[in-house]
Homo-oligomer: A and B are copies of this chain.
Amino acid sequence: MTNTTLKLLAQQLQLSISTVSRALKDHPDIAASTKAKVHALAQSMDYEPNAYAIQLRTQNSRILGVIVPAISNLFYDSFISAVEEESRKHNYALMIMQSSNQPENELNNLKIFRQNRVSGVFACLSSHPQNLEVYHKMNEREIPIVFFDIVPKDNRFTKVRMADERCATIAAEKVIQRNGKKVLAIFGDPGLSISQKRKNAFQTFMESYAPKIHVTYANASSSLEAGELIHKQYSKTQKFDTVFCMTDEILIGVMKAIQALNIKIPNEVGVITISNGFIPNLYYPKICYVETSGYELGKLAFVQMMANIKGGKTQTELTVDAKFVEGGSL
């Protein structure tokens, strides 16, 4: 069975295609009686406008592209969720692709986006350093780009991200408020700029506001490593009384080790992390965290995208602020 088209409707009704087209969109030129007939037939024949023809003609796809490192990720999927909600409201459809942190995939995805003439793309850089030429070319072609989370330094782009430094600073503040004396602070892959930012912020705050507190800095790019770290550090004579985790992944490793060692939270050690909240709420007591909401970021990104699409350029970097969420772990 072939799809219903304007032409088909027109033939059935002995009208011209343009009349049918206008009737369906309530154009004032068309008589009410005609409109009624057209609508009725369209309904009964299950007419659905061909998006491709429309897009070809109008040069407006109403499709937005999203590139994330991975869909299967607590942070990014809440980002996507938010963007999808907004898109629906604004009558845009979404095309989602994952880069798996491979620049090669990222490029390929962008190509698909361009070939589909997306109206804009939300991009999260894959972690490895790369050149931004593609993005510049897309800018030249006037395809709006909103970078999120992992954003380039280049300030010719529109960017939204979490207030990474603030997160770490807030966490440090809380640690001090709760009387942490010997802190183990675990950060992620030191190659990532986000790790550097958070570590610097944490360190800066600690050094200036609480110079007498003893802080051990460590890296762990996986839960496994984070767990081992706890095991190792906890057997030392100089034990920590507080542990700060930079990410959910680290927290997971830490918590496993803490459960294995049967350490009591918060009596024996306090725990604080940066997270969107899902993982911290899996434990008893709930882990205290500084919230970084992918959802909020998504909403913000969408606003920026709309501004970009409508009003031309908005080359700014916006951050969504962090806030502390109380738990029972500190």
Query: What residues of chain A have their CB less than 8 Å away from a CB belonging to chain B?
Result: 1, 3, 46, 48-53, 55-56, 61, 70-74, 77-78, 80-81, 84, 88, 93-98, 105, 108, 111-112, 114-117, 137, 140-142, 252, 255-257, 259-260, 279, 282-285
Contacts and interface: CB of A to CB of B under 8 A. Distances in A.
Q: Which of A105, A137, A259, A285 lies at the interface centre, i.e. has the most chain B CB atoms within 10 A of its CB?
A: A259
A84 B56 contact: no
Nearest to A279: B282
B84 A80 contact: no
A105 to B, nearest CB: 8
A115 B105 CA distance: 28
B80 A93 contact: no
A151 B112 CA distance: 31
A81 B77 contact: no
Nearest to A46: B137
Contact of A1 (B51, B98, B114, B142): B142
17 contacts: A1-B140, A3-B117, A3-B141, A48-B114, A50-B56, A50-B115, A72-B81, A77-B77, A84-B96, A84-B98, A94-B95, A94-B97, A252-B282, A256-B282, A256-B283, A259-B284, A282-B282
A288 B84 CA distance: 35
Contacts of A49: 115
A55 B52 CA distance: 7
Contacts of A116: 51-52, 93
Nearest to A79: B72
A289 B46 CA distance: 47
B93 A50 contact: no
A54 B265 CA distance: 61
Contacts of A88: 97, 105, 108
Contact of A80 (B46, B52, B72, B257): B72
Contacts of A105: 88
Contacts of A94: 95-97
Contacts of A51: 115-117
A298 to B, nearest CB: 11
Contact of A71 (B1, B56, B81, B257): B81
